[in-house]
Chain A
Amino acid sequence: PLSTRCCAPAGAAPAMNCRAEVLEVSVEGRQVEEAMLAVLHTVLLHRSTGKFHYKKEGTYSIGTVGTQDVDCDFIDFAYVRVSSEELDRALRKAVGEFKDALRSSGSDGMGQISLEFYQKKKSRWPFSDECIPWELWTIKVNVVNLANEQERQICREKVGEKLCEKIINIVEVMNRHEYLPKMPTQSEVDNVFDTSLKDVQPYLYKISYQITDSLGTSVTTTMRRLIKDTLAL
């Protein structure tokens, strides 16, 4: 879910043992959505399981994750995503907002979108639950403007090649088999996984983005909201 405020603001530094990966892409405006979706879906493919069904004695069985190929229209590229319409919709919504923000910010077309995986740690009242990130993916985007059709055609191919590299990078990270949250008991499952989807179960995640304005400073969406909220008081 996009920036649900369950814990510290998105701009906060990740926890000490939070793995952070950064990817950078330069794309044309109309390629932003597909490029972001390709990366986010590839990460979530690796970070989603089938639905858990708990039985007695603490055992559980896992549902099946289907996959499907997605062809990009503006990039010579194809990727695999989890077969879950809900998940796809959630990602498209986030990416759509990011793209709109990029366009309307009047910036030089630079921004970044982050996908953070976290665990919830319940706290006693009056403190709200803590969100402890354990993996953070950041995609830095630079939007370029192209002059003619020939350049666009080259861009299609080049961005396609670049995305291939990014997929390989993502898979490398996944293969390190570094920290993953322990498989939870039934009572804890919602602290580790997003169980709201009906067909797959990704780890708890949140997506946020920042647009870099032309002065080079970042304006986080969360900061904007804080200021707005403050003024509304």
Chain B
Amino acid sequence: AMDTDLSSQDRKDLDKFIKFFALKTVQVIVQARLGEKICTRSSSSPTGSDWFNLAIKDIPEVTHEAKKALAGQLPAVGRSMCVEISLKTSEGDSMELEIWCLEMNEKCDKEIKVSYTVYNRLSLLLKSLLAITRVTPAYRLSRKQGHEYVILYRIYFGEVQLSGLGEGFQTVRVGTVGTPVGTITLSCAYRINLAFMSTRQFERTPPIMGIIIDHFVDRPYPSSSPMHPCNYRAGEDNGAVYPSVEDSQEVCTTSFSTSPPSQCVFTVTKAHFQTPPPVVMDTLRVPVMGLAFSHQLSSSRLSYQPAALGVGSADMGYPVPFAGGLNAAHPHQLIGPGKEGGVPPIPSQPVHGTQADQERMCTPVNEGHCSAATPSSSDDTETVSNSSEGKCGSPHDLLETIFVRKVGAFVNKPINQVTMANLDIPFAMFAPKNVELEDNDPMVNPPDSPETESPLQGSLHSEGSSGSSTGNTHDDFVMIDFKPAFSKDDILPMDLGTFYREFQNPPQLSSLSIDIGAQSMAEDLDSLPEKLAVHEKNVKEFDAFVETLQ
């Protein structure tokens, strides 16, 4: 009968809901595998732009990949949207860990109200997805990524392929939502045969670099003052139960996209700095013993989005995923820090991929390309965009103070790139501006250590302590930021990090120095025959003494 058919408005709404549900599903899954804790803020006033009444960020690259994969279509019977999560080791071995499937079956619920019940149930399903993404084995693996492996994602549309998961994979159902055109199902199939790659194995292996990248570091500002989210474009509050958005008018390609796995982490290459940066980072240089993989870094701290200055970058540690291009013609580019003016462009670095690994990320982009990398960012109200709240302070003010921020291990960004803009702290503009520049930081330019005689001694210290600048770069050394576990942000003077660095390289105890030790040992050895001779002479006395004891 006519009245059970879906009205055209309902149909349009339903399609829109399903489309944005699919995009948000991908965001939740990928964000849950970036190796970072996610935090978004609740807002009591509806902005009209938060789909399903949930604060889920949109990483532009991820949206881009998802739209590419969907190519204008929606999940339907036989056409499922799949997000494949895989792991790739430093040796180039890769393994599929999970396949998240968003499917549609034919079971229709004609009675259900689209604009209300379906919408709310989709919201509930996203909450379930948030919860479930933390309980599959890949979550813990992804939190420890960066040293010996990285986690990659790939989105495809069409038939679900589970064969890469190995034998005995398990499935978990996240949930279902009935609609008048079919039932949406969201589930995850995950590998359990992690035989050669258990999380425990990675725990026992010390990190390559000798630095503990602690993913469990608390944000400097405790969660009692929630971080500012990226600013959504403030939509008009039209009082509807759900936000209204314009449909994005995208060009639909008819071919399915089988894009290569996109990388969830940011890769940089081995550093070849031309000049030491004028302001030296407080880095700890450690040997990189020829492991090509060591160029990988977990995207822990790099703020992906060009936050309006002072608004505070995405809630802290909002990681930068990349869609790693497979071929040079199609590189996926990193959004550089701070679209707002004045930010120096990131010099492009030569890409030394690991072996033949073409999934490796590539060139950080300079400012000009920023907008190109996010083609659809203007389309939907739902994507993150720069806020109009630029009233937080002019870019110039903020660029006066240059901070070093930990941007993750193995990062080789010259200091002059790291500006306040990508300080991933909220209220960055209010941070004290009198923080010591690196010149005054005793760790960076430490007081001269005592003169040493032994050539051996110098090598016992790290390079930094000898007072020399970063001029003597060894090719196999990579500079890394140092952020101690559980420490607060380095903005405050003499915090744990500073203390630790300052006292990390004390002058060596003289008694422990090798040559003195060696000397005394040599002396001992030399004097041994003499002592033996003396004892032999007195052997009668010893014997007599022994007699008295018996």
Interface residues of A (CB under 8 A from B): 42, 45-46, 49-51, 53, 55, 59-69, 71, 76, 78-80, 82-85, 163-164, 167-168, 170-172, 174-175, 177, 183, 198-200
Q: How many residues of B contact A (CB 8 A)?
A: 45
Q: Count CB-based A-B contacts (< 8 Å).
A: 138
A67 and B240 form a contact (CB under 8 A):
no
Q: Of B42, B116, B131, B239, which is within 8 A of A171 by CB?
A: B131
A168 and B132 form a contact (CB under 8 A):
yes
Q: A65-B54, A68-B223 are in contact. Are A83 and B39 (CB under 8 A)?
A: yes
A50 and B40 form a contact (CB under 8 A):
no
B42 and A200 form a contact (CB under 8 A):
yes
> Which residues in A have their C-beta under 8 angstroms from that of B116?
183
Q: Of A76, A82, A200, which is within 8 A of B140 by CB?
A: A76
**Complex CA–CA separation, A42 to B134 (angstroms):** 11
In the complex, which residue of chain B has the Cβ closest to the Cβ of A51? B44
Q: A167-B131, A170-B131, A175-B128 are in contact. Are A63 and B121 (CB under 8 A)?
A: no
B42 and A55 form a contact (CB under 8 A):
no
B37 and A174 form a contact (CB under 8 A):
no
B240 and A59 form a contact (CB under 8 A):
yes
**Complex CA–CA separation, A63 to B241 (angstroms):** 10
**Complex CA–CA separation, A183 to B539 (angstroms):** 104
B241 and A65 form a contact (CB under 8 A):
no
> Which residues in B have their C-beta under 8 angstroms from that of A79?
131, 134
Q: Of A60, A67, A198, which is within 8 A of B241 by CB?
A: A60
In the complex, which residue of chain A has the Cβ closest to the Cβ of B132? A171
B43 and A66 form a contact (CB under 8 A):
yes
Q: Of B130, B139, B175, B229, which is within 8 A of A175 by CB?
A: B175
Write out, one digit per residue, whether chain B residues 45-77 have a CB within 8 A of any chain A CB (1) or not (0). Answer: 111101001110000000000000000000000
A168 and B135 form a contact (CB under 8 A):
yes
B41 and A83 form a contact (CB under 8 A):
yes
B40 and A68 form a contact (CB under 8 A):
yes
**Complex CA–CA separation, A50 to B120 (angstroms):** 11
In the complex, which residue of chain B has the Cβ closest to the Cβ of A84? B42
Q: Which of B383-431 contact A (CB under 8 A)?
A: none
**Complex CA–CA separation, A170 to B127 (angstroms):** 12
Q: A63-B44, A64-B53 are in contact. Are A80 and B130 (CB under 8 A)?
A: yes
A177 and B42 form a contact (CB under 8 A):
no
A167-B135, A175-B124 given. 14 additional CB < 8 A pairs?
A42-B131, A45-B127, A46-B128, A50-B42, A50-B53, A53-B45, A60-B239, A60-B241, A65-B42, A66-B39, A69-B37, A83-B226, A170-B131, A177-B121
In the complex, which residue of chain B has the Cβ closest to the Cβ of A45? B127
Closest-CB distance, B55 to chain A (whole angstroms) = 4
Closest-CB distance, A50 to chain B (whole angstroms) = 5
B45 and A63 form a contact (CB under 8 A):
yes
**Complex CA–CA separation, A51 to B42 (angstroms):** 10
Q: A61-B241, A63-B45 are in contact. Are A46 and B37 (CB under 8 A)?
A: no
B524 sits at the interface (CB 8 A)? no
Closest-CB distance, B179 to chain A (whole angstroms) = 12
B46 and A62 form a contact (CB under 8 A):
yes
B536 sits at the interface (CB 8 A)? no
B240 and A63 form a contact (CB under 8 A):
no
B241 and A59 form a contact (CB under 8 A):
yes
B53 and A49 form a contact (CB under 8 A):
yes
> Which residues in A have their C-beta under 8 angstroms from that of B163?
none
Closest-CB distance, A75 to chain B (whole angstroms) = 12
> Which residues in A have their C-beta under 8 angstroms from that of B379?
none
> Which residues in B have their C-beta under 8 angstroms from that of A67?
38-40, 54-55, 127, 130
B224 sits at the interface (CB 8 A)? yes
Closest-CB distance, A186 to chain B (whole angstroms) = 13
B43 and A64 form a contact (CB under 8 A):
yes
A172 and B41 form a contact (CB under 8 A):
no
**Complex CA–CA separation, A45 to B125 (angstroms):** 11
> Which residues in A have their C-beta under 8 angstroms from that of B40?
66-68, 83
Q: A45-B131, A71-B37 are in contact. Are A64 and B241 (CB under 8 A)?
A: no
Q: A67-B55, A83-B226, A85-B224 are in contact. Are A46 and B127 (CB under 8 A)?
A: yes
> Which residues in A have their C-beta under 8 angstroms from that of B130?
45, 67, 80
Q: A60-B241, A64-B50 are in contact. Are A50 and B44 (CB under 8 A)?
A: yes
B174 and A171 form a contact (CB under 8 A):
yes
B159 sits at the interface (CB 8 A)? no
Q: Of A50, A76, A78, A172, which is within 8 A of B173 by CB?
A: A172
Closest-CB distance, A43 to chain B (whole angstroms) = 10
> Which residues in A have their C-beta under 8 angstroms from that of B132?
167-168, 171
Write out, one digit per residue, whether chain B residues 163-206 have a CB within 8 A of any chain A CB (1) or not (0). Answer: 00000000011111000000000000000000000000000000
**Complex CA–CA separation, A20 to B92 (angstroms):** 49
**Complex CA–CA separation, A65 to B39 (angstroms):** 11
Q: Which of B71-92 contact A (CB under 8 A)?
A: none
Q: Of A45, A68, A168, A199, which is within 8 A of B44 by CB?
A: A199
B216 sits at the interface (CB 8 A)? yes
> Which residues in B have their C-beta under 8 angstroms from that of A167?
131-132, 134-135
Closest-CB distance, A8 to chain B (whole angstroms) = 29
Q: Of A60, A80, A174, which is within 8 A of B134 by CB?
A: A80
A198 and B44 form a contact (CB under 8 A):
yes
**Complex CA–CA separation, A24 to B41 (angstroms):** 32
Q: A46-B124, A76-B140, A167-B131 are in contact. Are A63 and B173 (CB under 8 A)?
A: no
**Complex CA–CA separation, A199 to B224 (angstroms):** 13
B240 and A83 form a contact (CB under 8 A):
no
Closest-CB distance, A52 to chain B (whole angstroms) = 9
